[in-house]
Structure formats: structure tokens, C-alpha cells
Structure 1
Amino acid sequence: MPLLPDLLVSAIALVRDRRVLMVTARGRDVYYMPGGKIDPGETAAEAAAREAFEEVALRIDPAELTELFEVVTQAHGEPDGRRVRMRVFRTTTDATPAASAEVGALHWVTTADLDRCPPAGREVLARLAASDLID
């Protein structure tokens, strides 16, 4: 069986009051980081900034993002063995996020919400908590 290529994605971590911003897609209840696939010719930071605007209406300069870490784990909703490689970037914008047409709702999340997250989201929450950024 051929190995499936990893899904290369970028996401933003907007932390306020020891909670991180996550979103749910319309009609779904799984929390995920605002982000998405890296387009050809795009840097990971550019993808994170573009997705932040598309999903939560935040205009972020890719140069102002700080890469925190990369999560590599089983991709949610994909065949066994298909991994996601998610590069997570911290943003400190003061702008107010707003749900776009592709996002059902915004959520300010702590580790108490681990059971609502797919594997990559659980790993992100665990790492943010280990870095003392969220509860």
C-alpha cells in the first residue's frame, strides 16, 4: 500500500486570558485551529495569515507571526496513516476575530475542551498548556 503524502497545513494561535481561539465548521462540533493547507509557492507563515483572514477576519502580517512548533499526527477524517503536519504560529493582534462564511462559530478554548478536538488540536492544546500559555 503506498504511503499517503502528509497534509501540510499552517494555523494561528491567538491566546487571550489563558484561552486560545478555535473554530467549528458550519454544522460540525469539532474544534480546530484557524488555519488550512499551504498553497504552492506560499510560505507556512503566509498560509497562516491568509487562513486567519479567510476564517476569522484577522489581517495579520506574516512577518509578525512567531512560529511556536509543528504538530505531526494522524489527520482527522483521513485514512489511517495519513498524517497532518501543522505548523502553529503565534499572533498577538488586538483585532477582534469574527466568524467567516466557512466558520460556524468561534470558541475560546482551554485544555478542558480536549475532548472536542481532533488529534492535532489536542496536541496543540497540550503544548500551549505545557508552555504556560493556556489553562
Structure 2
Amino acid sequence: MIDKIAWLHLVDDRILSTRSRGKSVFYLPGGKREPGESDTETLIREIREELTVEITPASVAPAGVFEAQADGHAAGLVVRMTCYTAEFSGTLAASSEIEEVAWLGYEDRDRVSAVDKIIFDHLRETGLLR
């Protein structure tokens, strides 16, 4: 099991997504916990590292847990994505291992990872992504 934390940030029916250097698919911003970190601490650190903005801790709210086959791994390896919404301060910019930042709509579903496809479907069903 690959256990990750992700930020769901939607604006005008589009979701913020990132593509890491050397990767062909987009992923929701976020990542894995460091030892002893809470979900909120992980979210704050990962978003700062990837997108150079500061998550407002008091605004962090759970948005769902989703699981799917991990991309590029042997059959049976699952990724669990625990998602949160949150407000932020600063200007979004690619940093660290991030090569590209994009605002994706449902029509971009084929450009994202397997677990993100499930999240895109959920967001469309709830009317948040078009």
C-alpha cells in the first residue's frame, strides 16, 4: 500500500494538478508522510515544497479517501489517497520535482493517474468538476 495525502483545490470547475519531472501523467499535489507527521502537517509540507504556497492549517477539511492500482507498479500494489481541501496564501508556482502545474477539467481525465481518475469521477458526480 502506498499511502498519500493530497490537496483538492478547485476553481471554476477545474482542479489543480501537477506533473513531476520525467512523468507523463498528472497527479493531485501532495505526497507521503514523513515519520511522525499528521495528515495536516504532511499536506502543509508537501504543498509548500511542490507549489511554494502556505496552506492555512485551520482551513484543512477532509474531502474523501480513494484507492486504486498504483501507476507503473506490479499488479496488486494499491495507492490510497486521503484528500483534503484547504485555503492557502501565496502565489502558486511549480517547485521541487514539479515540472508543470495545470488546471484540469473532466475532459482531461485520461491525463491523470489511476487514483486521480476515481477522484475525478467522484468530483463530477458531486458537481464539482465539469
Alignment coverage as a number of residue pairs: 130
2:106 corresponds to: 111
Task: Please name the residue that 1:73 is paired with.
Answer: 68
CA contact (8 A) 2:56 2:86 kept: no
Task: Please state how far the C-alpha of 1:120 moved relative to its aligned partner.
Answer: 0.7
Structure 1 position 94, deviation (Å): 5.9
- How far off its partner does 1:109 sit? 0.5
Following the alignment from structure 2 to structure 1, what is the Cα–Cα distance between the partners of residues 57 and 41? 5
- Calculate percent identity across the aligned residue pairs: 32
Residue aligning to 2:26: 31
Q: Whole-Å Cα distance in 1 between the matches of residues 99 and 41 of structure 2?
A: 24
Q: Is the 8 A contact 1:13 1:21 kept in 2?
A: yes
RMSD: 1.4
Q: Counterpart of 1:61?
A: 56
Q: Which residue of 2 aligns with 1:3?
A: none
Runs of at least 5 residues in structure 2 that lack an aligned partner in the other structure: none
Secondary structure, in 3 states, of the residue corresponding to 1:53?
helix
Distance 2:36 2:129 in 1: 33
State the distance in 1 between where 2:8 and 2:75 align.
27
Residue-by-residue CA offset, 1:63-104 (whole Å, 9 max, x unaligned): 321110001111112211111111011123364310003100
Report the AA paired with residue 20 of structure 1. I
| TM score, norm. by length of structure 1 | 0.89
Provide the residue aligned with 2:78 in structure 1. Answer: 83
Gaps of at least 5 residues in structure 1 are 1-5
Q: Does 1:8 align with 2:10?
A: no
State the 1:38 CA deviation.
1.4
Letter in 2 for 1:19: R
Distance 2:72 2:10 in 1: 26
Indicate yes or no: 2:118 matched with 1:123. Answer: yes
Show CA shifts across 1:16-73 (max 9, x none): 1110100111232211000111122111122112111111112013332111000111
